[in-house]
Each structure stands twice: as C-alpha cells, then as structure tokens.
Amino acid sequence: MPLQTGFAGCDLTPEIGCPLSGFSSREELSSSIDDPLFGYALVLRDEQTSVAIVCADLEDVDAAFVAAVREQVTAATGMPGEQVMICATHTHWAPCMHPIPYVKTLLRDSVDEEYAGIAAAALSGAVIAACEQLQLAVVGWGTGRAEGISFNRRPVNLRTRKCVGTYTLEPELAALASREGAKLADAWPRHGHLGPRLSSPLPALDGLSVAPIDSEVPILRVDTADGQPLATLATFSCHGSVGKDDLYAISADYPAEARWAFEQAIGGPMLFAAGCSGDITSAWRGGDSRKRVGRAIGCAAAEAWLQIETPTDDVPLAVTSRMADIPVPDGFPSIEEAQAECDEFGHRDDAVGIAARRRYKRALQVAGRSATPREVWAARVGDMAIVGLPGEILVEIGLQIKQRSPFAVTTVIGLANDSAQYMCTDAARKEGGAEAGVNPDTNCNGPGTEAALVENSVEMLYELRGR
C-alpha cells in the first residue's frame, strides 16, 4: 500500500467561567476568550503500520486522558493505542481538567471534570475523521531556526553551583541570554556525547552563566499526491506562557500565532508541538509578544517547508513505545507523611499549602516504589524521527537525544502521552530551582531520570532505524 495520510481538527474551547491552569497567581475564573483552543490529528498509514500524531491546545495530558483517547480510537478504527501519540501545546490559558495542587481553592473547587471527557472525545473524533479521509500523499522533512526569541530560565552562579531562576529579562539581556544559549547548543557535536552546558560568567547578568536553548524548528511536511499542502508538524522549545496582559482570557498562546503565520505563508495547516521546554521561556512577555514569538516560529517553519525540494511517498513508516522506569528520589515522603502534612496545611493558598498538596499528589503516584513507569514513544517517517516524552523536559535531555539520533532530522516532543511534571538532568537537580523541586521536595522524578529518558529514546531510535 502506498503512503496515505489524513488530517482533521476539532474545537477544544471551553465555556467562559472555567478555571485556567498554568499560573498559581490566578484568583478568579476565566472571563473571556482571546482565541479558541483546537486539537489536530495527523494520521500516516502504509501497508505495515499506522501512526497518529495529535496536538492539543491544553496545558498537559495525563496518562488517564491519553488512555481514554486511545481506547476510543482503537474501538472505532482498530488502530492500536500505542501507535497514537497525544501531546499538549502547554498553553497556560487552557482549562484545568482536574483539581491542580498549585491553583487556589476557589479554582480547584470550580473544575468541571466533564471537560476532560469532552476533550478526549473531540480528539479521538479528530483521529477517526483523519482515518476516514486518508488519501495518497508525499512527505518531506527539514529543520528551520527561530533565533533570538527564547532563553533558558535557569542561569547558574558558578561559585555556588546554584540555579538563580529568572522568568523574565530586559530585552537586551534576553537577547544576550538567547545568543549565548544558542552558541552552547550549537557546540554539541553531532553523534558525540554531551556538550557545553553553561556559558562563562556574563557581567551583564551579574556574573551568572546561562544554559543552552534549542532554536531548531523541525518539521514534517505532508502534501497530497498532486503536491498541495495537507498538513505540517512543527516543533519548538518554549514555554506556553508568553501571554498578553490578561490572566483570565482563554487562549492557545503563541502556538495559535505560529499556526496562523505558517498558514498565511504556505496555504496549509500546521500542527504545533512543544519541544523540550521545561526550562525555556520566551524573550518577551505580555503585550504583543504572542504575535512576535509565534509568528517568528511560524515563519521559520514555512522557510523550512519551502526548502524541502522533493517530497516522496517512498518512506519507511514505523512506531514503537515502551515504559521507562523513572527513578523516585530517596526519602520521598510516604503517603501517610504527605497526607498528614496536607491535612494540616493543604487548605492554605500560599506556598506552604501548594507544596503540601503537590507532595501528597506525587506521593500517591510513587508510594513504595523505587521507580515509576512512564511511556516513551517514538516513530519514524523516512529519515525523520519523532520522539514523545512524558513531561516538562529540560532542554539538555532533548539535545542529547537529537545529538545521538541516527536520523537526519529528529524532533523531541514534551508533554506527550503523560504529564510527569518536570523531568530534569542530574546536574539541574543538584543546582536546585523551581524545576528541580528539591527544596521543598515536590519533584518525584529523581536522579537518573535524564539517563532513563535519553538511553531509552536512543535505543528506540536505533530500533526504528533498523526497520
């Protein structure tokens, strides 16, 4: 069977009045809609296998939500669930799908948990519709760059070896951090092992050293057999927290602007996936920043699309999935310890209450375990690899996977098939900071998480290369 593809979308916009996820500072329910939320599904099929890629304008997707989507897809199409990847764009203006520990009591109590079921049905419906619209297609792959629009929010004091996290910088300092972070990433040798992870101390940043970013915009281009754009998958590493100046307006954040810019340039739709964005933030926040960030990414994706000269239908297609054991840190609180703390402090809406609720939620997931199984997913489309990892992944993990990949183009997508919170390098855990969550201990992904994700991903990529 020649390569066939299908594409479909769905509306995920909730009703006004829902609590929004992403920021602990919110005190009210949503009051307006800046732009709608969408989900998109791309299905590829040949005579041996099918692959479905689903990108949703949500802050995250947990394993139960993913299982619900997959079950509905399998029931309707026969496609095995493990051949479906569902990822979140990580917009911080999407509805809470369950009571989140870091949001205030009013918002936790206002969550409409029926929304998760509605969203799961909509996304499975998009996959089913894409399967029903399969047509002959050709594909290509490439990589663009969107430079100067992101920086690593985990600068380090080399004297103390501690992270001094910063979410915003003045424009000239953000530009400096972005340039230096890109230089670090570019110095990681292809097919090598690691690379420089901190710059020399920068006087303009009070002597702090910045960490790498990932400026690449990998794309998978899918055209109809007669050469018309059908859909394009693009990935970029940046937190979905760019925003405008309203915390209470529903929005897909910068991915909506990226899709708009790409569609204006190419005339076909784009699926956007968040890369390894756990420690990456935008150079600009608020005002017109969504347009500046998103449209820069969309234009970079369009440029990469235009540079692909010969899309083809003669491509190997394969997919694999496995459960990786993610270590639990020694001494993580037991359920009884975490519950006692939550009973005492969990009613509070301050940092103490948030930490207590977070620890209790994580303790329920990892109690009595030395490791927690989390899904790692990978697919091959010709000489492009797509890796899906189950949380907010620090950028160095993605850089290592790309560095060691046997494929010409590799994209590493975060918040795929599960939401295992921040997944850090061992060095980041030692350096501390919000992502590491070690003081107070709210991160249940312990030392060795980095190796588990990287080694499993690379093994899977070489397995796919042999198919």
What would the pLDDT profile of 198-242 be if each residue is shown by its tens digit? Answer: 999 999 999 999 999 999 999 999 999 999 999 999 999 999 999
Q: DSSP letter at 373?
A: E
Integer Cα distance of 192 and 403 in angstroms: 7
C-alpha distances (whole Å) from 65 to each of 95, 161, 317, 464 are 14, 39, 26, 27
**In which element (H, E) is residue 463 found?**
helix 449-465
Integer Cα distance of 401 and 393 in angstroms: 12
DSSP codes joined into one string, 54-67: EEESSS---HHHHH
Strand 229-236 relative to strand 270-274, pairing: parallel
Integer Cα distance of 383 and 186 in angstroms: 21
**In which element (H, E) is residue 364 found?**
helix 351-366
DSSP codes joined into one string, 130-185: HHHT-EEEEEEEEEEE--SSEEES--EETTTTEE---S---HHHHHHHHHHHHHHH
Residue 322 is predicted with a pLDDT of 98
Q: Angle of helix 351-366 relative to helix 335-345, nearest 10 degrees?
A: 160
Residue 1 is predicted with a pLDDT of 67
Integer Cα distance of 88 and 252 in angstroms: 11
Residue identified by tokens 């139960």 is: 64
What totals of helices (H) and strands (E) does the chain contain, helices first? 11, 20
Three-class DSSP category at 196: coil
226 alpha-carbon distance from chain centroid = 33
For residue 5 the two structure tokens come to 């593809």
Q: Are 384 and 220 in contact (CB under 8 A)?
A: yes
Integer Cα distance of 285 and 274 in angstroms: 18
Q: DSSP letter at 240?
A: B
Integer Cα distance of 27 and 248 in angstroms: 9
Residue 182 is predicted with a pLDDT of 98
Q: DSSP letter at 382?
A: T
Residue ranges of the chain whose pLDDT lies below 70:
1, 438-441
C-alpha distances (whole Å) from 157 to each of 17, 267, 376, 440 are 43, 47, 33, 20
Strand 409-413 relative to strand 384-388, pairing: parallel
Nearest to 337 by CA among 440, 184, 221: 440
For residue 280 the two structure tokens come to 């990456």
Q: Is the dihedral of CA 272, 275, 277, 282 positive or negative?
A: negative
SS (HEC) of 275-330: CCCCCEEECCCCCCHHHHHHHHHHHHHHHHHHCCCCCECCCCEEEEEEEEEEECCC
Integer Cα distance of 198 and 90 in angstroms: 26
Integer Cα distance of 351 and 440 in angstroms: 10
Which residues face 373 on adjacent strands?
325
**In which element (H, E) is residue 358 found?**
helix 351-366
Q: DSSP letter at 19?
A: P
Integer Cα distance of 414 and 143 in angstroms: 18
Conformational region of residue 60, where left means phi above 0, alpha means psi within -120 to 50, and beta covers everything else? beta
Residue 27 φ/ψ, nearest 5 degrees: -120, -5
**In which element (H, E) is residue 7 found?**
strand 4-11
